[in-house]
Chains A and B, each alone.
Chain A
Amino acid sequence: GNSVTQMEGPVTLSEEAFLTINCTYTATGYPSLFWYVQYPGEGLQLLLKATKADDKGSNKGFEATYRKETTSFHLEKGSVQVSDSAVYFCALSFYNQGGKLIFGQGTELSVKP
């Protein structure tokens, strides 16, 4: 079946450090890929998405590129801030399957000043 695997957390970084959170997927076909973020005490919100191979999603300084060859969608940010501390979820969906999201297990990021 379809699934998403993320690097395990928690990840602790110093402010201004470079961030990578790995995400790989297993799917039959070519899904749309997403990163969702959950800030402390808040609901899930979409961070960025890519709907086809080689697309790059970006938002708030975060980027991820849809790599069909390696079935990956790694999240990167060049310089993290304390306010980026949150739980990050990678997810996939197929429009022709109703668009339900299949999530990875989440990666908790803590950024220290």
Chain B
Amino acid sequence: GAGVSQSPSNKVTEKGKDVELRCDPISGHTALYWYRQSLGQGLEFLIYFQGNSAPDKSGLPSDRFSAERTGGSVSTLTIQRTQQEDSAVYLCASRIRGTSGTEDTQYFGPGTRLTVL
């Protein structure tokens, strides 16, 4: 079956512009996560969705960052008024929300490389 897909794979934008990054999780996966991978900060959690709701937004670095998920499937991460420090690879992951209490594997997409000039 298809894995997690993300688009675009690369995005170059000018400082101050808004960008939207898209994630298509694995079909049937109810949990969806966004992470950011950058040289200075490593791999950081941004936000977690269970279905369409986001019970944990604790990793969003500022109010310029927002995300939504519709239909329990596709998610969009929006960065407003981009800054150079937003340059990073943005990763999406999805997971079947298990009912037994055991951890299920998170499957990662290939990422979107964002460059802010």
Contact = CB atoms under 8 A, between A and B. Distances in A.
B114 interface: no
A58 interface: no
A105 B45 contact: no
Interface in B44-96: 44-45, 48, 50, 55-56, 59, 91, 93, 95
Q: Is the interface of B mostly helix, strand, loop or mixed?
A: strand
Interface residues of A, number: 21
B95 A99 contact: yes
27 contacts: A32-B103, A42-B110, A43-B109, A45-B108, A51-B103, A95-B98, A95-B103, A97-B56, A98-B31, A98-B48, A98-B50, A98-B56, A99-B31, A99-B33, A99-B95, A99-B103, A99-B104, A99-B106, A100-B33, A100-B59, A101-B33, A101-B106, A102-B45, A103-B43, A103-B44, A104-B42, A105-B42
Interface string A20-40: 000000000000100000000
Interface of A: 32, 42-46, 49, 51, 89, 93, 95, 97-106
Interface residues of B, number: 26
Given A46-B106, A106-B43, A100 B101 contact: no
B25 interface: no
Contacts of B103: 32, 49, 51, 93, 95, 99
